[in-house]
């Protein structure tokens, strides 16, 4: 009997690896792949950089491997107009985002953009807090395919309140826009973001060195293992739970504290 219970627990642990879900908007069925401007260019991004990057993805054949997103990060907007519509910085994006999206689409790629669930972005540009519907419709009209949504200047409002508002605004536009939550793991998004976004970041920024990559990788392994096991453990009977505690003895699982 004990052996069969142990086997059942291990089979259950294995099965849950196939049950992870995300926002059901037809996107994110496989991990998003592409390029983001921040690590290399930060606020020195401009439309020529985006076009050259899109060209390079095609010339290197990376699009055939699934790298399809070309994403503008912070610093692309200079303000809002009289109608509160975001204005692309005329110095760095003189032809606007719509023309840039058209160029990227002509290559068979997708264009991503950045905003923040706060009053300002991390670099001090206009944020989207309280402007969600206006901004979502603006991006849809421009042909944007992806939104990275950051967490600076958030006025102390929980991301569980701020991020669903943008989800609803994006869905209302009728345009499929990949929704990438970037709340840095502030309130354990892996436990609630599945119905809010297509992806959710669980750590701070990555840096261009192996130590940073390794640290974030290890954090994800530990977080995923904890969440997956805890999700299944919550379904166990009392006797099975006792066995599970013995099986995972020495591991730090939040649900077994």
Could you identify the residue written with the tokens 């939040």?
254
- What pairs with residue 79 in β-bridges? 87
Pick the catalytic residue from 73, 135, 145, 150: 150
CB-count exposure of residue 197 (10 Å: 0-12, 13-18, 19+) = buried
24 catalytic? Reply is no
Rounded CA-CA distance 35/126 in Å is: 23
Between CA 249 and CA 244 the distance in angstroms is 8
User: How far does the chain reach from its first CA to its final CA, in angstroms?
Assistant: 27
Q: Decide: 140 and 160 in contact? Cβ < 8 Å.
A: no
Q: In what order do the strands lie in the sheet with 110-116?
A: 34-36, 69-71, 110-116, 146-150, 178-181, 199-200
* Rounded CA separation 88/75 (Å): 9
What is the distance between the alpha carbons of residues 209 and 77, in angstroms, rounded to a whole number?
29
188 in catalytic set: no
Element (H, E) at 143: none
Catalytically active residues, by annotation: 150, 205
């Amino acid at each position: 009997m004990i052996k069969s219970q142990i086997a059942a627990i291990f089979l259950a642990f294995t099965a849950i690896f196939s049950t992870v879900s995300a926002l059901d908007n037809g996107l994110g069925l496989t991990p998003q792949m592409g390029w983001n401007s921040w690590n290399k260019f930060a606020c020195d991004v401009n439309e020529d950089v985006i076009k050259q990057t899109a060209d390079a993805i095609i010339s290197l054949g990376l699009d055939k491997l699934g790298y399809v997103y070309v994403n503008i990060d912070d610093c692309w907007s200079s303000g809002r107009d009289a109608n509160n519509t975001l204005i692309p910085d005329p110095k760095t994006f003189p032809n606007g985002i719509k023309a840039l999206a058209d160029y990227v689409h002509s290559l068979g790629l997708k264009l991503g953009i950045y905003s923040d669930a706060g009053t300002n972005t991390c670099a001090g540009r206009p944020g989207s807090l309280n402007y969600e519907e206006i901004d979502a419709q603006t991006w849809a009209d421009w042909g944007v395919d992806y939104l990275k949504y950051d967490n600076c200047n958030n006025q102390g409002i929980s991301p569980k309140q701020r991020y669903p508002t943008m989800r609803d605004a994006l869905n209302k536009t009728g345009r499929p826009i990949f929704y990438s939550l970037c709340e840095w793991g502030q309130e354990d998004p892996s436990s609630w973001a599945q119905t809010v976004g297509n992806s959710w970041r669980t750590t701070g920024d990555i840096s261009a060195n192996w130590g940073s990559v390794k640290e974030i990788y290890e954090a994800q392994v530990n977080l995923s293992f904890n969440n997956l096991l805890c999700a299944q453990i919550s379904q166990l009977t009392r006797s099975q739970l006792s066995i599970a505690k013995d099986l995972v003895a020495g591991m730090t699982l939040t649900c077994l504290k």
